Amino acid sequence: MRDINEHTAGEDLIIKTSVRLMVPFIQVFGLYVIVHGHYSPGGGFQGGVILGASFILLALAFGMKASQEYMTVSVNAVFNNLGPAIFVGVGVLCTLFGGLFLDYSALDNLIPLGVVEWRSFGIFLVEVGVGVAVMSIMVLLYWNLSSGGAMDEGL
């Protein structure tokens, strides 16, 4: 958040300052929800929505151009493809090592950590994939909706 005030003039100081204070805590909370998703309420979808909402909040307060310095359109496109790739990659990796699709216990043949530990950790990997995909799709939906597809300036 170095020089974000230079980009947009005329917005309210209270909104800018409060958003600047809130966004790091929202993102840490989103990561917490993703990481603790497999044994407490939450998970990849909810945490991804929270992470995406933090970028939407930046775009609302500072303008879309200034917020796209923190997540550019090309980085968003990479995340769009990385999330489903993690999900399907974990599933296919399970089939390659002798299990069914998304049968995480088969990954024990790849790295021997124990079958029960792999069942827990495999769900975590899939949740990370879901979180990355949902975050980038939510941000992309907001950009397209509020700018009419041009993705330069909007709400």
Give contact residues for another protein (rule: CB under 8 A): 33, 41-43, 45-46, 49-50, 52-53, 56, 60, 138, 141-142, 145-146, 148, 154-155
Half-sphere exposure of 155 (CA within 13 A, CB side): 13
Give which of 151, 132, 152 is closest to 141, Cα–Cα: 151
Cα–Cα dist 3/42, whole Å: 34
Cβ atoms of residues 54 and 69 within 8 Å? no
H helices of 63-114, where?
64-67, 73-96
Closer residue to another protein (CB): 5 or 46: 46
Both tokens assigned to 84: 């489903």
User: Least distance to another protein from the beta carbon of 99, Å?
Assistant: 27
Closer residue to another protein (CB): 107 or 134: 134
Buried b (16+ CB within 10 A) or exposed e, 21-50: eebeebbeebeebbeebbeeebbbbbbbbb
User: Least distance to another protein from the beta carbon of 33, Å?
Assistant: 8
Closer residue to another protein (CB): 73 or 100: 73
Closer residue to another protein (CB): 10 or 41: 41
User: Least distance to another protein from the beta carbon of 114, Å?
Assistant: 27
Closer residue to another protein (CB): 21 or 145: 145
User: Least distance to another protein from the beta carbon of 71, Å?
Assistant: 16
Cα–Cα dist 91/86, whole Å: 9
User: Least distance to another protein from the beta carbon of 65, Å?
Assistant: 16
